[in-house]
Amino acid sequence: MNRVSCATWSVTVVIVFTMVAASEFVAFGQLAPQKDPRASERTMTNPETSEAQKGVESQQIILQPAEGYFAAFGGYTFSGKLSTDGTGTFNGVSFGNGSLADSAVFGAKAGGFFPDSLHWFGVEAELFSTTPHIEQQGAAVGSHMRVTTLAINAIARAQFACEKKHLNTVQETERFAYEYVTEFCRLQPFAGVGLGINWVDISNSTFSAHDNFVPGLNALAGVRYYFTNHIAMFTEYKYNRVGFGFTGVQGLANFNGVYSINHIVGGISFHY
Q: What is the pLDDT of residues 84-109, one digit of tens each?
A: 876 655 555 455 567 899 999 999 99
Q: What burial class does residue 264 get, using C-beta atoms within 10 Å of its C-beta: 0-12 exposed, 13-18 middle, 19+ buried?
A: middle
Segment 32-58 shows an average pLDDT of 51
Concatenating the DSSP letter of every residue in 222-241 gives: EEEEESSSSEEEEEEEEEEE
More confident residue, 96 or 224: 224
Domains, the chain, with CATH or none: 3-271 (2.40.160.20)
Question: pLDDT tens digit string along 239-262?
Answer: 999 999 887 665 556 778 899 999
Q: How far is it, in rounded angstroms, from Cα 120 to Cα 157?
A: 5
Segment 187-205 shows an average pLDDT of 95
Per-residue confidence band for 36, with pLDDT thresholds at 50, 70 and 90: very low
Which pLDDT score is estimated for 88?
54
Segment 161-180 shows an average pLDDT of 90
**Is the pLDDT score of 39 beyond 90?**
no
**Is the pLDDT score of 33 beyond 50?**
no
- Whether the Cβ atoms of residue 68 and residue 23 lie closer than 8 Å to each other: yes
**Is the pLDDT score of 18 beyond 60?**
no
CA-based diameter of the chain, in Å? Answer: 88
Which pLDDT score is estimated for 80?
95
The DSSP 8-state label assigned to residue 32 in this structure reads S
50 Cα distance to chain centroid: 43
Which pLDDT score is estimated for 255?
78
More confident residue, 189 or 88: 189
Those residues whose C-beta lies under 8 Å from the C-beta of residue 21, and which sit 6 or more positions away, are 123
211 Cα distance to chain centroid: 23
Q: Determine which of 154-158, 160-164, 167-171, 265-269 has the lowest per-residue pLDDT on average.
A: 167-171
C-alpha dihedral sign at 114, 120, 122, 124: positive
Concatenating the DSSP letter of every residue in 129-149 gives: EE--PBPPBTTBPPBEEEEEE
Q: Which of 94, 26, 268, 64 is nearest to 167 (CA)?
A: 64
Q: Which of 14, 1, 2, 3 is nearest to 197 (CA)?
A: 14
The helix or strand, by DSSP H or E, that contains position 220, with its residue range, turns out to be strand 208-226
Average pLDDT taken over every residue of the chain: 81
**Is the pLDDT score of 32 beyond 50?**
no
The helix, strand and coil proportions of the chain, stated in percent and rounded to the nearest 5, come to: 15, 65, 25
Q: Can you list the alpha helix ranges (DSSP code H) found in the chain? A: 3-31
- Whether the Cβ atoms of residue 74 and residue 106 lie closer than 8 Å to each other: yes
C-alpha dihedral sign at 229, 225, 217, 84: positive
For strands 121-130 and 94-100, give the pairing: unpaired
